[in-house]
Structure 1
Amino acid sequence: MKQLYFLFFALLSCSILTAQTVHGRVVTDDRSPAVGAYVLRLGSEHHTHTNELGQFRLDSVRTGDSLQVSYLGFKTAIIGVTSTDQEVKVILQESFFNLAAVTVRPSLASLDVVADIDARLRPVNSAQEVLRRVPGLLIGQHAGGGKAEQIFLRGFDIDHGTDVAISVEGMPVNNVSHAHGQGYADLHFLIPETIEEIDYGKGPYYADRGNFATAGFVDFSLKEKLDQSLVTAEMGSFNTLRTVGLFDLLNRERSNAYFATEYTLSDGPFESSQHFSRLNLMGRYTAELENGSKVSLLASHFASKWDASGQIPLRAVESGRIGRFGAIDDTEGGFTSRSNLIAEFTRVVDRRTYVKTNAYYSRYDFELYSNFTFFLEDPVNGDQIRQLEDRQTFGLTSELNKSFNFGGEESRLKAGIGLRYDNIDGSELSRTKNRREVLERLQLGDTDETNLFSYVGADLEFGRWLINPAVRLDHFTFDYVDMLQPTYDRQEQRKLAVSPKLNFLYTASSDLQLYLKTGMGFHANDTRVVIDQTADKILPAAYGADLGGIYRPTGRLFLNAALWYLFLEQEFVYVGDAGIVEPSGESRRMGVDLGLRYQFTDWLFADADINYAFARSVNDPEGANYIPLAPDLTSTGGVTVLRSRLSGGIRYRYIRDRPANEDNSIVADGYTLIDANANYRFGPVTIGLIVENLLDADWLETQFATTSRLFEEPAAVEEIHFTPGAPLSLRGVVRYGF
């Protein structure tokens, strides 16, 4: 018996001594890192995921073991471990799309897998589709195609970005203290064909996301290299023309460079032509160093100008005064441009540590002419206004990512520090006539706004559990000089925000994960509101919680669901007669998000997202506490075909009727739209057809309850003012890859 015990302990000791840690890196066949690839030691449940550099570390591996590496859209690889002394290099080969390859990631960003699925199924076809890729997010355009879209998400009318943080390659898109509205986010400088990934999260649970990340965030990563050069031409309804060129300039083992350009023209469906034009230019260089470190430089320029028919009153159309696509004041419109420089350096310190540093500079010009109330304020000249600004934004973020052993499990630390500075000269709101004559300056001033921030968080693994405690600190300095005052007077306010987060994830298997996310976030008020002390809160806090799960019951079905709650210390209300936003009171929202992804065959897929939100103002009496334009029920989805030469699909988006004012006496009409597209490839040439509003529905794209007066009217009227949605339209597409 003693001999048996001795033999048992000897074998156990040998096993312990020979079980070691294996390090490796997973890349795709085009040498890009496979971020979030699932690495499993066969014969066990022991697994890990690759980091942002494609690197992984897996404990308890012995020579002779086999590793299974799976990654969405690529063939599963089986790798034998011949030595734990050398790094394992895994190169994945592209394969047909297979939902069975989806694995739930034990990380706070586990819903990224939904973004990965959608990216494979639904390439972005236009700038308007960029934000629609986020489940539950809808947009509306109401100023000639050149103005930033109105955003709806989780029971918010976010206007142009007040409660969703949007960024591109680490550079924030939201503009603080903007001439038109707080958080204004114009994404039109983004060329859709250059997008590599769309990362998003809902709620204030992410320590690396700060200002405006209350309803959620959206982050765009752009291609580091091209698979091939590409030229695209589109022509369609309303004299629409779009050309795109992506040109591979350098494609080497460790360095890549490309140039991209886009030019768009359109008259739009309106009786008065939009004369819309937009030019985009972008170049990027990326190099990987010997130790795996990486450097990237990106430069872009965007310019756009347009005319607009503006929001028109319902009574003018119903009386026959103007047509559905007519105008009361067709001198609206504007000009905007943005030039960006982004530099990024990812330094590999060791196998478990890397530091990512991002720096950016943006030069931004904006001039917008609007007329929301027509002849309410000035019965002779009309109520046209001009909003104008010249902005420079500087920023820097440096983030440490480190994996470490905690209680025998692999855990991760993320800590960052950064700065954002906005210098805004000549921010103006003026009454004008016919875009030429300034009748009265209502606001004119210079704004300096500085945001210093830091954050730290950890993913602590305890078996199947992951606990993510985190905290973020933001310090703001608001400076404003009112140029309309007779003497120089710089006004200043300072404020600190502390935003703790605590999140729990339970990964039952590679097919099931449950989570509870909790946290605080905030959105800053406009500097002019802060200085005037008309805001109850300088940095209104948001308190949120999500209880949900991700489940793959079969290899062909993927489900996600969440119950959520969000409380805001202060809302923002759109004021049509001034063309600005102003702060209001507390609000409460709760709801449910449901998502489904299903694969019928190797080439036929379906997806659907249904989102319900109950949104109310806290301090107002029952029946008068509706939040204007907050959607309660929305849904998007469709069917997609992906075959070797043929691709395309049919998609729908739906928004239910919603209150347009606080007592729901004025209602904004909902709509259901169906779009379709089809593409067929002949060698290097692809031809396609895009059909928008397939059923030619009459719909109202954006709506507001606005008080206005027409020229001959004796008194003002409050009712729905709207921008009509485009009718059935077609675009033909030809692409050539080389």
Structure 2
Amino acid sequence: MKFIFFTALLFAFSISLHGQTLEGQILDQSSSPIAEATIINRANQQHSHSDLRGSFQLEKVAVGDTLEFRHLLYRPKVLLVVQTDSSIIVQLDDLAVELEEVVINNKVNSLQLLSDIDLQLQPVKSSQDLLKKVPGLFIGQHAGGGKAEQIFLRGFDIDHGTDLSITVDDMPVNMVSHAHGQGYADLHFLIPETVEQIQFEKGSYNEQKGNFATAGYVNFKTKNYLEDNLIKLEAGQYNSARVLGLFKLFNSEKQSAYIASDYQATDGYFESPQHFDRLNLFAKYSLNSSPNNHINITASHFQSSWDASGQIPTRAVEQGLISRFGAIDDTEGGQTSRTNIRLAHKKIIDAHSLIKTSLYWSKYDFELYSNFTFFLEDSINGDQIKQREDRNIYGLNTEYNRFFHFNQLEGALIAGLQLRADESIDNELSHTINRQTVLEQIQFGDIQEKNAAAYLGAKLNIGKWLIQPSLRLDYFDFAYTNHLSSEYDHRATTKSILSPKLNIAYQQSNRLQLYLKGGKGFHSNDSRLVIAQNLDEILPATYGFDLGYNWKISPKMFLNMAYWYLYMEQEFVYVGDAGIVEPSGRSQRQGIDLSYRYQPVTSLFFNLDANYTHARSIEEEVGQDYIPLAADFTLQAGLNYKHSSGLYGSLNLRHINDRPANEDNSIVAEGYTLVDANLGYEYKQFDFAVQLQNLFNTAWNETQFATESRLFNESESVEEIHFTPGTPFFLKLVMQYKF
């Protein structure tokens, strides 16, 4: 009996001296597991990491020890051990708005963390304004607020999305072979308050992104749950109003659901009222059916209609025929709608592997009336055109991840499959009068386009090095049925492209990272021109690289700088406005990107993004080699103040240089500098704000094109700048209530 007592006493003493093994799980605020979190015992410096299930085991833990839980994307947490004989669950909060907490590490995209901070600090006025959170990206609206915006990035006039891949929860926004132009990306179905994170990368270096990802990609990740219900009211000049509601249906450890609704209306600042209105509906359901299974179901619908004044010629304003906010043809406008359903499933197979799968379907309708040349082609009836289509998009994304550790080597293997099918029914380009009478059908038919892609990649962490080789294969099937032919006219063709990529990063310290990214990208051409002209260059490729660094100059100061180069093999761009093809030949672009962030105190945050680009056509003579609308310099800067008392405000500046509007730079699109301001106060559940756009009432041109046109009283046509005037001083009041 004494021997048993002595043995038990010795065992207890051993436990107190050496500790036991503590088991647990680390979750985020939506009860989803957090992988690769670090657990440190401050008493003896023992450490461990969580697996894909968020589970961990930490040896030599005793009652009274202090444990520290860390992850690059979450706020650190410290816990005191009160018992070791049962499993614990630890929930980590999202990263705070602190530049000091941004860590340079090969496992995380530092620029992505900066974007997360920008999104929290700066107010977003619309879904398209979310794009402005990408450093160096500019947008311009030129058709009554309902048409997708024009996009500028890295020396590209991307038009509506030709060279930028845009997705929402990995569901494509870009439309292939769209009635208005290739890659058309209408983001208006996205409610900005539902966005949790903006994921982006410039260049064509990510194996998960294929078509249109030449200048880069942007993915908007929506929230899985709501912390609060929200009602927001906005009212501004020009009969502008917005009503928003976000409501939790339920929120528990295993499941959550919420709905959102958004209605907007405005007459705009033009002399002819825009009569713009848009309705958005959104719902999301999340289920953790088990620790290893996570399901998301998302449904959304939006519809919009508007009238537009359109682009106007400079001479009409200079001659006093119309004002800056007047119109030559104010019967332009349109209507559009989109319905989305998406099902996503993440299965954690074991502690080191998982598979993610998503299915989606979109129903999209589009009708647009425009007049860019007035009376150039038809001196009696005018040149108004109608572009229309009804589209269905079906898609599947699936990806397998396998994580491994072997001595000093750790990393992951990634394999994925993507399928997408587009059916554009009655895709039409017609000559019309007053949005009523069709004079001539220029193009009319059905488009079927399919894209299958497979990719394989690896992430290898070797000491201070990160090496990411990958390979992507895309296969396209183009088909077009021409309804204008007197006989049955259905033609099809196929094409494939292989895109290798390689990213290398070297982490010199926790303050400095050097990187080199390189890869091949592409964008597809419109099915109609592929079929009509039997093109060889169906999938023109791009080749590029980024050489740069991330430098944490001090705990409160961050700098990113990169030199980049992009060669474009050849482009044939379908111009939906006129129903013609414009080959642009080979081109090259190169430039320097700079992003700087400084937070001297918690309440004050400064951001600066400056971008220089030199863009030229390779096949043209010097002086005739300018790329139209390629901006050579853009700058975005902001000063944001947010005090613990609830007072907040911001000043934001954006600038774009003059840029060539044609190949010899004889016609110039004027640059502009704008300043916006925001002032608000949070009091308990209430938030009151005043938003001021174009604070100094600058007269600026939002979108500009070199266009040949003829007015009704002119005998000869004139080629010059046609523009849409930008927003004058605009005041908006915002009130929101959380509960």
Q: What TM-score do the two structures reach when normalised by structure 1?
A: 0.92
CA distance in 1, matches of 2:302, 2:476: 29
Change (3 A) 1:36 1:560: farther
Change (3 A) 1:570 1:88: farther
Q: Deviations over 1:104-147 (max 9, x none)?
A: 23147443222222223224332231111111100000000000
- Offset at 1:407? 4.7
**Which secondary structure does the structure 2 equivalent of 1:111 belong to?**
helix
2:532: which partner in 1? 532
Question: Pairwise mapping of residues 591-630 of structure 1 onto structure 2 (< 5 A)?
Answer: 591-630=591-630
- Offset at 1:83? 11
**Which secondary structure does the structure 2 equivalent of 1:124 belong to?**
coil
CA distance in 2, matches of 1:473, 1:227: 41
2:567: which partner in 1? 567
C-alpha contact 2:181 2:574 (8 A) present in aligned 1: no
- Offset at 1:170? 1.4
1:310: which partner in 2? 310
- Offset at 1:679? 1.8
2:698: which partner in 1? 697
Change (3 A) 1:606 1:666: same
C-alpha contact 2:168 2:219 (8 A) present in aligned 1: yes
**Which secondary structure does the structure 1 equivalent of 2:134 belong to?**
coil
CA distance in 2, matches of 1:45, 1:660: 63
CA distance in 2, matches of 1:225, 1:465: 36
C-alpha contact 1:372 1:576 (8 A) present in aligned 2: no
Change (3 A) 1:589 1:736: same
Question: Pairwise mapping of residues 112-131 of structure 1 onto structure 2 (< 5 A)?
Answer: 112-131=112-131
Q: Does 1:733 align with 2:715?
A: no
1:294 partner amino acid: H
CA distance in 2, matches of 1:672, 1:628: 20
**Which secondary structure does the structure 2 equivalent of 1:158 belong to?**
strand
2:447: which partner in 1? 447
Question: Pairwise mapping of residues 672-691 of structure 1 onto structure 2 (< 5 A)?
Answer: 672-691=673-692
Question: Pairwise mapping of residues 156-305 of structure 1 onto structure 2 (< 5 A)?
Answer: 156-305=156-305
Change (3 A) 1:412 1:500: same
Change (3 A) 1:511 1:292: farther
C-alpha contact 2:243 2:263 (8 A) present in aligned 1: yes
1:15: which partner in 2? none
Q: Deviations over 1:367-393 (max 9, x none)?
A: 000000000000000000000000000
Q: Deviations over 1:22-79 (max 9, x none)?
A: 986543456466688676787999999989x784879x97657976444579642235
Q: Deviations over 1:370-421 (max 9, x none)?
A: 0000000000000000000000000001111120124532211111112000
Q: Does 1:513 align with 2:513?
A: yes
2:585 partner amino acid: G
C-alpha contact 1:62 1:84 (8 A) present in aligned 2: no
1:721: which partner in 2? 722
CA distance in 2, matches of 1:383, 1:372: 7
**Which secondary structure does the structure 1 equivalent of 2:285 belong to?**
strand
C-alpha contact 1:617 1:627 (8 A) present in aligned 2: yes
- Offset at 1:735? 0.5
Q: Deviations over 1:60-101 (max 9, x none)?
A: 976579764445796422357999999774323468532211
Change (3 A) 1:57 1:176: farther
C-alpha contact 2:360 2:395 (8 A) present in aligned 1: yes
Give the superposed CA RMSD. 2.7
Q: Does 1:659 align with 2:660?
A: yes
Change (3 A) 1:311 1:560: same
Q: Deviations over 1:595-628 (max 9, x none)?
A: 0111121111100000111111111111101100
Q: Does 1:336 align with 2:336?
A: yes
CA distance in 1, matches of 2:43, 2:528: 63
**Which secondary structure does the structure 1 equivalent of 2:97 belong to?**
coil
CA distance in 1, matches of 2:716, 2:23: 75
Change (3 A) 1:66 1:571: farther
Change (3 A) 1:311 1:608: same
1:188 partner amino acid: H
**Which secondary structure does the structure 1 equivalent of 2:280 belong to?**
strand
C-alpha contact 1:577 1:707 (8 A) present in aligned 2: no
Question: Pairwise mapping of residues 38-437 of structure 1 onto structure 2 (< 5 A)?
Answer: 55=54, 63=61, 68-70=68-70, 75-78=75-78, 89-93=89-93, 97-107=97-107, 109-437=109-437
**Which secondary structure does the structure 2 equivalent of 1:118 belong to?**
helix
Change (3 A) 1:198 1:75: closer
Q: What TM-score do the two structures reach when normalised by structure 2?
A: 0.92
Q: Deviations over 1:629-657 (max 9, x none)?
A: 01110011201112231222110111000
Change (3 A) 1:221 1:41: farther
CA distance in 2, matches of 1:511, 1:581: 49
- Offset at 1:320? 0.4
CA distance in 1, matches of 2:308, 2:49: 49
CA distance in 1, matches of 2:382, 2:474: 43
Moved more, 132-141 or 90-99: 90-99
C-alpha contact 1:373 1:709 (8 A) present in aligned 2: yes
CA distance in 2, matches of 1:365, 1:581: 24
Q: Deviations over 1:222-242 (max 9, x none)?
A: 111111111111000111010
C-alpha contact 1:609 1:636 (8 A) present in aligned 2: yes
